[in-house]
């Protein structure tokens, strides 16, 4: 199947400083593609190149199998995007904002489509309210509605949860899931909130100083067999020797009188806890450390 986006050996510099270096990747149809990296890693630069807002120094960009430079206007009809925070008219209603942006497209968009997209983003019933009365999360959802109004195949979201409270973050997370699962959209989403990407992405790419350092299925990169489990216990002399003589010896990493560290499959955590209790070892806390954030930091810490 032809990828919806394909980047081939793209490089981009600003004033002699390389921001993206020989970058290649592909986004398949239906993916929620997590685009991760620290500030300045090249995420926004790459997204801007996909949208034709800036152009690469070298390399090629394809959308639906067609090279971007050969048919820019036509290809952008298949893409919707929010780069940074969406700009809207606060003194107008959400409905009027949506009408204005719909009129800027090359096609005639009926009122039924406006109703449909407002319902998709959870703003049905609030469409007549002025945007200046909206919370930041509602503004972000309206921005996504604007990006969706022309029914694009690909939605590009640059830091969509930036500046939102926990409720707003949860709402955007559920919206991204719904757009992919229920409406068949392909979504490329960048974020510095790594936990959020872990919750929604099917595939992910990690950039570091403009270079791709990891890419793949989230489930493959975050192998549950490689989970680190820390168990804080009531102080107990001789606990290391006790574990060394047990069936858990091969999975023990570190053991002292107050902290035990294991590397094991997350499904074995209940059995481990039961065994420790059976040995009379008091458990204070169990914490698993295999998360996207741990993986990300292990790759990007210089």
Catalogue all structural domains in the chain, each as residue range(s) with its CATH number. Answer: 5-220 (3.40.50.300), 224-300 (3.30.70)
CA dist list (Å): 283 to 21, 228, 230, 250, 257: 48, 17, 11, 21, 12
CA dist list (Å): 201 to 117, 180, 219, 222: 22, 10, 10, 12
Residue with tokens 């699962």: 181
The residue among 73 and 259 whose pLDDT is bigger is 259
The residue among 132 and 262 whose pLDDT is bigger is 132
Answer for the pair 263, 253: CB distance below 8 angstroms, yes or no.
Answer: yes
Tokens describing residue 252: 């023990």
Report pLDDT for 302.
Answer: 62
| Secondary structure class of 269 (helix, strand, coil) | helix
Q: Label residue 96 left, alpha or beta by phi (over 0 means left) and psi (-120 to 50 means alpha).
A: alpha
Kindly indicate the confidence band of residue 226, based on its pLDDT and cuts at 50, 70 and 90: low
Kindly indicate the confidence band of residue 19, based on its pLDDT and cuts at 50, 70 and 90: very high
The residue among 123 and 255 whose pLDDT is bigger is 123
- pTM reported for the whole predicted model: 0.77
């Amino acid at each position: 199947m032809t990828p919806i986006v394909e980047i081939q050996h793209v490089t981009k510099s600003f004033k002699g400083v390389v921001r993206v270096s020989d970058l290649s990747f592909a986004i398949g149809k239906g993916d929620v593609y997590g685009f991760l990296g620290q500030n300045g890693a090249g995420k926004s630069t790459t997204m801007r190149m996909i949208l034709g807002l800036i152009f690469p120094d070298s390399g090629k960009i394809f959308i639906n199998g067609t090279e971007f430079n050969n048919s820019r206007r036509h290809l952008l009809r298949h893409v919707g995007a929010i780069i940074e925070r969406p700009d809207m008219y606060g003194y107008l209603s959400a409905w009027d904002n949506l009408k204005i942006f719909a009129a800027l497209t090359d096609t005639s968009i009926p009122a039924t489509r406006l109703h449909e997209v407002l319902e998709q983003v959870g703003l049905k019933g609030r469409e007549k309210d002025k945007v200046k009365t909206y919370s930041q999360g509602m503004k972000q959802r309206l921005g996504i509605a604007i990006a969706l109004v022309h029914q694009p195949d690909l939605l590009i979201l640059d830091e969509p949860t930036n500046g939102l409270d926990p409720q707003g973050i949860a709402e955007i997370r559920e919206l991204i899931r719904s757009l992919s699962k229920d409406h068949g959209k392909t979504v490329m989403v960048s974020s510095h909130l790594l936990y959020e990407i872990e919750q929604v992405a099917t595939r992910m790419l990690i950039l570091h100083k403009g270079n791709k350092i990891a890419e793949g299925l989230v489930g493959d990169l975050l192998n549950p067999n490689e989970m680190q489990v820390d168990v804080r216990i009531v102080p107990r002399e001789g606990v290391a020797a006790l574990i060394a003589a047990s069936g858990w010896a091969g999975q023990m990493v570190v053991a002292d009188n107050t902290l035990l560290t294991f590397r094991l499959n997350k499904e074995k955590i209940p059995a481990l806890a039961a065994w420790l209790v059976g040995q009379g070892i008091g458990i204070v806390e169990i914490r698993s450390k295999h998360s996207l954030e741990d993986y990300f930091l292990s790759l990007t810490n210089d």
